[in-house]
Amino acid sequence: MIANYHTHHTLCGHASGVSKRYVEAAIDLGLDTLGFADHVPCEFPDGYISSYRMYPKETKIYVDDILNLKEEYKGKIEILLGYEAEYFPELFEKMLKNIRQYPCDYLILGQHYTNNEYDGFYSGFRTCDRKTLSRYTDQIIEALQTELFSCIVHPDLLNFYGDDEFYKNEAFRLCEAAKKHQIPIELNLLGLTTHRAYPKDIFWEVASKVGNETIIGLDAHSPHAFNTEAVDLGIEYLNKFGITPIEKLKVSCAQFTTASQTSRKLNAFAVMDKENTRTRDAATAAILRNGMTLDLRRGWDSSSTMGR
């Protein structure tokens, strides 16, 4: 492992240790690239306050801290400035407007909630509801269509315990979309080393069949996350599925569109989402009426703890 792009900051409220210690731990581990990607600040309606991300007014504090580290450790390690963001359709453009005020190297996609968080389902809660799983998958696919994300982190976060065949079909849709858009998926070491509901074997069986590019991510919430034992566990886990991880991501925020272009894209995605939902619900009803199971090889093409 020579790079980690999933590193948090104390501003999120649930990470510990000053950012400088993360850099030094990364150097000690032998990394040549360290990406900070704390939970993206987002302004919600009706006074809702998200409990696990920095406030929008703290964005500049975060940016300044990482830029200072870039300068301090120049020549010792490459430091990147990014965010772990969800795709919240109603809030996405406003979120982008805020972070575009400052430098940014990349975004990673971590869909912790469906819908827009304040009106959605928390992905870490257990559920057997098919519509919730499908909504989670749909939003990830919609996010990929923005062409703003460099990786899907903990793609198997949604804690579904229902029908395995249905889960496989949704995993197939997600993995096929990621491959189509040439976006790697992450094996999340936080989930693996703390025995959370992810990584899910059933998901990685699908990812192996689809042939997704995969990167290992520490999801570091403290400097102690930078250790060889965790990395070795990740490599061993992927070996079970015949997956060899890639070492680095292609990261860039240069593809950020203007606000007006983003707005046009989001409007188009909203129309597509309604059509896809109607099509998928009709297909599901037909399958259930006929007592059939979903075929892993033919997914629909729509082109209990948080993984924080």
Average pLDDT estimate for 7-32: 98
Query: For the chain, which domains are there?
Result: 3-289 (3.20.20.140)
d(CA 67, CA 297): 46
Share of the chain above pLDDT 90, in %: 81
The pLDDT tens digits of the residues spanning 53-99 come to 999 999 999 999 999 999 999 999 999 999 999 999 999 999 999 99
Q: So what's the pLDDT on residue 118?
A: 97
Average pLDDT estimate for 21-48: 98
Least confident of 32-36, 249-253, 303-307: 303-307
Q: So what's the pLDDT on residue 253?
A: 63
Least confident of 53-62, 114-123, 288-297: 288-297
Average pLDDT estimate for 197-202: 98
Average pLDDT estimate for 207-226: 98
* Residue 100 falls in which region: left (phi positive, over 0), alpha (psi -120 to 50) or beta: alpha
User: Rounded mean pLDDT of the chain?
Assistant: 87
Least confident of 107-111, 116-120, 217-221, 274-278: 274-278
d(CA 69, CA 50): 27
Q: Which amino acid is at 92?
A: F
Average pLDDT estimate for 180-190: 98
Q: So what's the pLDDT on residue 251?
A: 87
The pLDDT tens digits of the residues spanning 240-281 come to 999 999 999 998 665 554 443 444 444 444 444 444 444 344
Give the closest residue to 79 by CA, choosing from 67, 89, 88, 87: 67
